[in-house]
Every structure is written in structure tokens, then in C-alpha cells.
Amino acid sequence: MKGLIIKDLKLILQNKFIIILMVLFSILGLIFDMDSDFMVAYFTICCTGLAISTCGYDEKNNTVSYLMTMPVSRREYVVEKYFFTSVCGFIGYFISVLIICINSFVFKKSPFEFTSLSFGIFLFLLPSLMIPLNIKFGTTKGRVVSLAVAGIISFIIAALVPPLIMMTKIENVEIVDDVTIAITQVEIGPKSILISAGIVVILLAIYFISMLLSMRIIKHKSF
């Protein structure tokens, strides 16, 4: 596992341009008080994406195949990919939150936007979607399939949400409104905390199901 982490760390350090760009955005974010939604989304997606890009390097020289001949089990390879991606994504998320906190509480620029924190869903969603697809189809096909999956999910949401809202309104159930409020409202109340916690639990469940799926895919894969 330690060897895999070192490998992935060395690999993401190859993307010097993206890392320099992120440092630049951090400085710009502090100077110009950039939009907090953009900051959190950008840093989280960028760091998670950088970590997921190591799958591409692994594929390029058939490195996965070579790694499987080393003292690394297939299960460990999957666990490391999720662990590494999450840690990288969390570092990006933490840096961006730190920048908007400094802007809000130290420099007293714009008020702290709690809604920006919701972009942390990328920490769970990106690896959950991309890692199993990369393992199953490889990075090129995986990217195409992930776009297709994202399209299908968007279509389902677009098709299901309006009737769901209508239905909840008819039955006088306010859950959809509560979720919307939990995501969008600035004030933190017990209801919004509960719903946010519910969302985190669902995201964690998706994350672990995805990890189990990846383990299943790699278990029977021929290299």
C-alpha cells in the first residue's frame, strides 16, 4: 500500500502546470475575494481529478498489470485508489474552505457562504463514478461511459424531480422543500443539519458501494 501511495504521489506531481494553477488561484482567491462556490468546486474537483488521473498513468504502460505481480493485492489496489483520491480531494476542499474562511473572518470581505460547502459532494461522487469505470473500461472508454452515465442520471433527475415536487406538494409533505432549504439557506437549523447529515450518509453509502463494485470488477479481471 505504501508503495502505491508513493507511486501516485509522484505521478500527480508530474502535473506541475495544474498545481501551479491551483497555487495561483489560491493567491488570486485571497487577493480578489473570488466567488466561494467557484473556489470550493474548483479546488475539490481539481484535486480529486488529479488523483483519479493516476488511473490513466497506470493504464499507459500496463502498470496495473505490473503492480499485480508486486506484493500488492487487487483489493489493496482498489482501496488505495479510493483512499488516495479522497485524501487529495479533501486537501483541495480544505484549502478552498480555508481561503474563504480567511476572506470572511480575517479580511472581513464577503460573508461566509455555507452553501459553498455543498460542493464537497464531489469528494464522494467523482471517485464513486470514475474509479469503477476506469477499472472496468480503462480511462478513455471510462471517460466516455462516465459522460453517458452522468447524462442518464441528469435525465432521470430531470424527469423525476418535477413530478416528485408536485407529489410532495399535493400530499403536503415538505421534504423536498426542506432538502432545498438545507442546501441553499444560510441559516443553520436542526432540520438542515439533519438533512445535510442524511445527504452525507447517502454519499458515503454510494462511495462504499462503488468501492465494493470496483473490488468485484478487479477480482475477475485478466491483465
Partner 1 sequence: MLEVKNVVKKYKNFRLNISMEVPSGVITGLLGANGAGKSTTFKTILGLAEPDEGEIIIDGKKIGDFTNKDKAKIGCVMTDSFLPEILKVKEIKGILKASYDTFDEEFFDKKIAQHDISPDKRINELSGGMRAKIKMITALSHDSKLLVLDEPTAGLDVVSREEILAELREYMEKDEERSIVISSHISSDIEKLCDDIYVINNGEVILHDDTDRLLFEYASLKVLDEDFEKLDKQYIIAHRKESYGYECLTDKKDYYLENYPSMVVEKMNLDELMLILYKGERL
Q: What residues line the site for partner 1 (CB under 8 A)?
A: 2-7, 10-11, 14, 57-58, 60-63, 65-73, 76, 220, 222-223
Give whichever of 12 and 39 is closer to partner 1, judged by the CB atom. 12
Task: Give least dist CB 25 to partner 1, A.
Answer: 25
- Name which of 73 and 140 has its Cβ closer to partner 1: 73
For partner 1, which is the closer residue by CB, 5 or 27? 5
CA 12 – CA 35 distance, rounded (Å): 26
> Position 19: which residue type?
I
Q: Which three cell numbers stand for residue 165?
A: 415536487
Q: Which is nearer to partner 1, 138 or 181 (CB)?
A: 138
Closest separation in Å from C-beta 126 to partner 1: 22
Least distance in angstroms from the C-beta of 83 to partner 1? 15
* Least distance (Å) between residue 220 CB and partner 1: 7
| C-beta of residue 122 within 8 angstroms of C-beta of residue 89 | yes
Quick check: helix, strand or coil at residue 71?
coil
Q: How far apart are the first and last CA of the chain?
A: 20
Query: Which among 74, 201, 53, 72 is positioned nearest to 131, based on CA atoms?
Result: 53
* Cα Rg of the chain, angstroms: 20
C-alpha dihedral (124, 207, 51, 73), degrees to nearest 10:
170
Query: Quick one: 96 or 139, whose CB is closer to partner 1?
Result: 139
Query: Between residues 2 and 108, which has the closer beta carbon with respect to partner 1?
Result: 2
CB of 9: closest distance to partner 1 in angstroms?
10
Q: Which distant-in-sequence residues (6+ apart) come within 8 Å of 18 by Cβ?
A: 46, 50
Quote the least distance from Cβ 68 to partner 1, whole Å: 6
Q: Could you tell me how far CA 164 lies from the centroid of its own chain?
A: 26
